[in-house]
Amino acid sequence: PSRAASNQIYVPQWDRIVLGNKLVTRSFVNVRESRKSAITLRVMQLLHQVLCKRIHITKRDLFYTDVKLFVDQAESDGVLDDVATMIGCTRSNLHVVASDKGLVVGRIQFEED
């Protein structure tokens, strides 16, 4: 599905914005589209690992798993949104959260002496 503003519809009874029926296709003819498809597959692979391990990661963690491929965090963030849209769920359903620097995510145990 397309995440373009023209394909977003507000549903009052759900108090949520949903996507319409417009679709986006990618062609492997040019390098830019092929690269974006490769990034999409890598993000899907990383998300599969995260979900299988039943852990949560940040968007920044996702970016740092393959900096050479992603180059820029905006690129991995956009593809992450694309994957969530394709699957029909939210980013948090994929165990990926946005967080500020220094924020701890995941299982943590404190012991006081």
**Catalytic one of 64, 71, 74, 89:** 64
Quick check: is 10 catalytic?
A: no
- Cα separation, 57 vs 46, whole angstroms: 10
105: left (phi over 0), alpha (psi -120 to 50) or beta: beta
* Under 8 Å between Cβ of 76 and 69: no
Rounded Cα gap, residues 71 and 33, in angstroms: 16
Residue 20 contacts residue 4 (beta carbons within 8 Å)? no
Helix (H, G, I), strand (E, B) or coil at 96: strand
Catalytic sites, residue numbers: 64
